[in-house]
Copies of this chain bind each other. A is one copy, B any other.
Amino acid sequence: MPSRVEIILHESEILKTNFLRDPHVRRTGVYLPAAYDGVKRFPVVYLLAGFTGRGTMMLNESAWNENIQQRLDRLIATNAIQPLIVVLPDCFTKYGGSQYINSEGTGRYEDYLIQELIPYIDAHYKTIPERERRGIAGKSSGGFGALIQGMRHPETFGAVACHSGDMHFDLCYRADFPPTLNGVKKYGGMEKFLETFREARPKKGDWHAILSTVGYATCYSPNPETAWGFDLPFDLETGEWNEAVWARWKAWDPIELIPQYANALRSFQILYLDCGTRDEFNLQYGARTFCARLQRAGIPYQRQEFDDGHFDISYRYDVSLQAFSDAWRA
């Protein structure tokens, strides 16, 4: 009997009201290994999609890469990993993503994940419902989400993997600000952009920079009092810097959070990070800085660098899932 993926329509109470009026019913993928028989219990891993992604997109087919089901099937069949349940949450928002945190500018996605989705999964599937057999992993904004949720909920997760995760915001996010300044003009101003960005064609260059800036601002510096629901760390006309707003962003920068979450970080069975040496968003420097600081704090971790960029790197899950599995099999 082969593995299967169930696509469930998961209904959230928490998301019933959310600032962006995004749907509260979420298509969520649940991978059940071939060995899943409704009796035996398995460890569970939550895989978080990156910005502009939903979990179910990891099921998309492509020409040269396995999708997540094919990947898991192979890893399990070759005994590289033990059979696992894998959950693919949907925390997408109107502007591309929630960063998996609670925000007045988007919704309570952390609460949704921790208080609703995980209990639901544990209730409806044969997981081993313990932190020591529950992992969280992700790539890019999903790597950020995995790390942040791991740090904030060590009672929930025992293993964390962050692939090319957002961090060192000065290096990864600021690069989008000049093209945002330049691009917003072309789209006729921010208001116009927010109204029309879905129809913009082709979605090139500036478009991504503006959307990213908007999406992150809704998460890190929401301001429901304003027209758009968020503050920007710079003036859209003059580019003048607003350090107070930027400080709100940096309050979420993993490289700044180690002292605050040192106990959690120390508690993991596995704390794994990796990044490509040619990451288009310079996230390798974030990973290096984060790990240099872990080291200074005496917190154990595993880190790899690989010769690649930021995109099409789902093959890195082979490494992190194996690290999880090894820890759990031990």
B178:A282 contact, CB within 8 angstroms: yes
**Minimum CB distance partner of A57 in chain B:** B61
**Which residues of B are found within 8 Å of A289, using beta-carbon distances?**
235, 238-240
Which one of A63, A96, A308, A312 has the greatest number of beta carbons of chain B within 10 Å?
A63
Q: Is A130 an interface residue (CB 8 A)?
A: no
**Minimum CB distance partner of A55 in chain B:** B61
**Which residues of B are found within 8 Å of A175, using beta-carbon distances?**
175, 178
Q: Is A202 an interface residue (CB 8 A)?
A: yes
B311:A64 contact, CB within 8 angstroms: no
- How far, in angstroms, from A60 to B278 measured CA to CA in the complex? 27
B239:A282 contact, CB within 8 angstroms: yes
A202:B61 contact, CB within 8 angstroms: no
Q: Is A133 an interface residue (CB 8 A)?
A: no
Which one of A59, A181, A202 has the greatest number of beta carbons of chain B within 10 Å?
A202
- How far, in angstroms, from A59 to B67 measured CA to CA in the complex? 13
Give the distance to chain B from A246, nearest Cβ to Cβ, in Å.
Answer: 10
Known contacts A311-B202, A312-B202; is A171 also within 8 Å of B57 by CB? Answer: no
Residues in A158-187 with C-beta less than 8 Å from chain B? 168, 170-171, 174-175, 177-178, 181-182
**Which residues of B are found within 8 Å of A288, using beta-carbon distances?**
237-239
- How far, in angstroms, from A92 to B170 measured CA to CA in the complex? 31
State how many copies of this chain the complex holds. 4
- How far, in angstroms, from A177 to B170 measured CA to CA in the complex? 11
**Which residues of B are found within 8 Å of A235, using beta-carbon distances?**
289
Q: Is A19 an interface residue (CB 8 A)?
A: no
- How far, in angstroms, from A54 to B237 measured CA to CA in the complex? 34
Q: Is A329 an interface residue (CB 8 A)?
A: no
- How far, in angstroms, from A64 to B238 measured CA to CA in the complex? 31
Q: Is A40 an interface residue (CB 8 A)?
A: no
**Which residues of B are found within 8 Å of A238, using beta-carbon distances?**
285, 288-289, 292
A308's contact among B53, B56, B201, by CB below 8 Å, is which?
B201
B198:A64 contact, CB within 8 angstroms: yes
- How far, in angstroms, from A168 to B177 measured CA to CA in the complex? 13
**Which residues of B are found within 8 Å of A202, using beta-carbon distances?**
278, 308-309, 311-312
- How far, in angstroms, from A312 to B201 measured CA to CA in the complex? 9
B201:A168 contact, CB within 8 angstroms: no
Known contacts A63-B92, A198-B64; is A203 also within 8 Å of B312 by CB? Answer: yes
**Which residues of B are found within 8 Å of A201, using beta-carbon distances?**
307-309, 312-313
**Which residues of B are found within 8 Å of A285, using beta-carbon distances?**
178, 181, 238-240
Q: Is A145 an interface residue (CB 8 A)?
A: no
Give me 20 other A-B pairs in contact (C-beta within 8 A), A57-B62, A238-B292 excluded.
A53-B63, A57-B60, A57-B63, A64-B198, A171-B177, A171-B239, A174-B174, A178-B285, A181-B282, A182-B282, A201-B309, A201-B313, A202-B311, A202-B312, A235-B289, A238-B288, A238-B289, A239-B282, A239-B286, A239-B289
Give the 4 A-B CB pairs with smallest separation, nearest first.
Answer: A239-B285, A60-B60, A238-B288, A202-B309
Subset of 8 A-B contacts with CB under 8 Å: A52-B64, A56-B61, A59-B61, A175-B178, A178-B282, A182-B278, A182-B282, A239-B285
